[in-house]
Amino acid sequence: MNPPFSAEMIDRLRHWDHAELWHPFTPMTAYAREQAPIIVSGEGFYLRDIAGRRYLDGISSLWCNVHGHCVPELDAALRDQLARIAHTTLLGASTPAAIQLAHELVRRTPAGLNHVFFSDAGSTAVEAALKMAVQYHYLKSAGASRRTRFARLADAYHGDTLGSVSVGRIADFHRCFDNLLFPTITVPCPVAYRVPAGFDEASWLDHCYRQVEQVLAEQGESLAALILEPLVQGAAGVQVHPPGYLRHVRELTKRHGIPLIADEVAVGFGKTGTLFACEQEQVCPDILCLAKGITGGYLPLAATVVSSEIYEAFLGEPHEGRTFYHGHTYTGNALACAVALASLELIEKNAVLENVHVLNACLSQRLEPLRSHPHVGEIRQKGIMVGIELVADKLHKTPFAPELRMGHRVTLAARARGAIIRPLGNVVVLMPALAMPLSLLEELCDIIIESIDEVCATQGREIHQQPRR
C-alpha cells in the first residue's frame, strides 16, 4: 500500500508534532528523538500510520477498544445520531440516547445500582463519586458530618484530577502535588510478589486482610467511603488481588456503614472475564465508576452509577439545597451515548465475553515460556489484562534501573515487528481488544516474546561490554 501522505507532508507533520503537540504521559525530549507512529486509520484490530505501516493494536488504544476499529455497527450508530443532533445539554433537559443508555447500564450493573450520572472520563467519574459520598453524609447528618476522609489502597491510581489523585497517588506521577491533595487513609495493596521484611507471602496477605479490617473499625466514623479497583490495580502494573479480597472489603464496609466506591474504569466492560469485575465475587458497591470501554473505544464518556440509598439523600425541593451541583458541558453527549448503546448490543450479539475466555486461555498458554525467562520476574494476568514484569535479577526480584527504560525498549522492539503496546515502567502490558480473533492474539504473543528476548539479550551484551573499573 502506498503511503497516504507525501514525504514532504510527513516531515511537516512530524515537525509540528515534536514542536507543538504536548503528549500525555510522554517524556517529550525522548519522544522527539523517536519516529513514533502517527496513526491515520484503523481497520479491525490493526492501526495504520502516516507512512502506510500496519500495526496490531496490542493495548486496545489505551485499554478502551472493545470490538476493533471502523466497526460497521458502531459507525452506523454514530451516523444515525449525527443526523439527529450531535450534542445538547443534560442540565435541565435530556436526550433519548442518554436515557436509553442509563436504562441499559442499570439493567446490566450489579442489582441495587439504579441511578446513572454521566461525565466524560475516568477521572471525572471518580471525582463525581468522591463528591457524592461526602455530600451524602453531609445531607444525612443535616450538615454536621465529619465523614470527609477516604480510605484507599496503596499503589492505587484513580485518575489525574486533584481529587482522583488524592485517592490514587503514584509517587513518580504525583509527588510535586502533595501540598494540593487532601489526606487519605491507606491500606496495603494485597499482592505478594515483593513483601516487606519480616513477612512471607502468606503472612503478608494475611496482614493486608487484617489491616483493612482494623482501619475500617478504627476510622470508620470519619470515612466518607473506601475506594478501590476491583480484582486488579491496572496502572500499578496490573496487580491482581487474591480471590476473596473484594468480598472481604465489601463485608467490612457494610458492617461499618462505609460506602464502597468501585472504580471499574480500567477493569469494566469485560476485561476480567465478566462484564463488570464486581460480579466475580457477587459484590454490589454503593458507587460504581465506569469509562474507557463504555463506548467501545470510540468517544469519551463516563458514568458514575449509584445506589438508591445514596441517590435519594439528594432528593428534595430546590430551596432545600440538596441538589448535586456538579456537571460538565458535554455530560451525556448524544453521540457518545448512541455508540455506547450499539457497543453494548454488540457485546451480547457477538458473544464477546465468551471470546474473552478464549483469549484468556490463549494468553496463559502462549506466555507460559516467559515464566522461566531469566529477566521475567512475574507474569500477572486477569482475563485479558496482562502485566509482564522485567527484572535485572530474577532470584532477588531486583528491578532494572529506571534510566534503562526496559519496558519502553520492548515497546520499540514490538513496534518494529508490527505491534503497538505501552509499558508501565518495567512492566510490559498487554490489553488486547475483547473481540480480537485468536489468530491475531497468538501473533501478538509471539511479537512480545521475541521483543523481550531481543531487549534483554541486548542489555546483557551491553553490561558485559562495559569496561571494568
pLDDT tens digits for range 330-374 = 999 999 999 999 999 999 999 999 999 999 999 999 999 999 999
Of 406, 408, 362, 403, give the one whose Cα is nearest residue 386: 362
Residues 146 and 186 in one domain: yes
Q: Which pLDDT belongs to residue 2? A: 54
Assess if residue 2 is contained within a domain: no
Kindly report the average pLDDT of the chain as a whole number.
96
Residue 101 sits in the same domain as residue 238? yes
> What's the CA gap between 276 and 5, in Å, rounded?
42
| pLDDT confidence band for 142 (50 / 70 / 90) | confident
Cell of 449: 516474546
Quick one: pLDDT at residue 252? 98
Q: Mean pLDDT over residues 118-140, rounded?
A: 97
Residue 464 has pLDDT above 70, yes or no: no
pLDDT of residue 75: 98
Element of type H or E holding 247: helix 245-255
Q: Which of 330, 349, 368 is the last residue of a domain?
A: 349
Stretch 159-169: mean pLDDT: 95
**What integer is the mean pLDDT of 194-206?**
97
* CATH number (domain holding residue 130): 3.40.640.10
Final residue in a domain of this structure, among 302, 330, 349: 349
CATH code for position 409: 3.90.1150.10
The pTM of the whole model exceeds 0.85: yes
Q: What pLDDT, on a 0 to 100 scale, did the predictor assign at position 469?
A: 47
Same domain, 270 and 377: no
Same domain? 42 vs 129: no
Note down the domain range covering 41.
7-67+351-465
Q: Is residue 94 in some structural domain?
A: yes
Count of Cβ atoms closer than 10 Å to residue 127 Cβ: 24
Is pLDDT at 69 greater than 90 in this prediction? yes
Say if residue 334 is in the same domain as residue 444: no
Position 146 scores a pLDDT of 87
CA-CA distance, 347 to 108, in Å (whole number)?
A: 12
Domain count, the chain: 2
Residue 71 burial (10 A CB sphere; 0-12, 13-18, 19+): buried
Q: Of 306, 321, 349, which residue is a domain's last?
A: 349
In the predicted model, is pLDDT for residue 1 greater than 60? no
The predicted-structure confidence for 228-237, as pLDDT tens digits, reads as follows: 999 999 999 9
Q: Please check whether residues 213 and 307 belong to one and the same domain.
A: yes
89 shares its domain with 237 = yes
pLDDT digits 0-9 by tens, 247-284: 999 999 999 999 999 999 999 999 999 999 999 999 99
Is there a domain that residue 452 lies in? yes
Q: What percent of the chain has pLDDT over 70?
A: 97
pLDDT of residue 460: 67
